[in-house]
Amino acid sequence: MPQKELAGKTIDLDDKGYMTDFSQWTKEVAIELAKGEEIDELTDKHWEVIEYLQKCKQENVTLSIRKVGKSGVTTIKELYALFPGGPLKKSTMIAGIPKPASCI
């Protein structure tokens, strides 16, 4: 299992770069993951989306771009602007949760 040093911690990752142990996730780790995805700053709106995704994961809710867009947290258009180049992949990676099955 690959590991990476982020925010002074050794983080366990899968072969696609997603965290395998959510207990290792911190906001500082998220900031480093975001930088690795070319997102230089996480705004309040980024954090709202991240918190929503983590809540969905805790509740075993299946995630999709459409579901996030209808959540009231953000729109699909805004999700693409916040996490360009693969919004659900990038946002879940930064949130420290596994890649959703709906992502290719």
103 is catalytic: yes
Q: pTM of the predicted model, to two decimals?
A: 0.93
Identify whether 104 is part of a domain.
no
Q: What is the mean pLDDT of residues 83-94?
A: 95
Q: Considering the domain boundaries, does residue 100 fall inside one?
A: no
Question: Does residue 103 lie in a domain region?
Answer: no
Amino acid identity of residue 12, one-letter, is D
- For the stretch 39-55, pLDDT in tens is 999 999 999 999 999 99
| Number of structural domains found in the chain | 1
* Residue 68: C-alpha distances to residues 6, 13, 16, 30, 76 (Å): 27, 24, 22, 19, 7
Q: Is residue 78 part of a domain?
A: yes
What's the full length of the chain, in residues? 104
101 within some domain: no
Range of the domain at 13: 3-95
Q: What is the pLDDT of residues 19-31, one digit of tens each?
A: 999 999 999 999 9
Here the tokens at position 1 are 């299992």
Choice among 70, 95, 103, 104 that is catalytic:
103
Residue 34 in contact with residue 45, Cβ under 8 Å? no
Handedness of CA 46, 52, 55, 18 (dihedral sign): negative
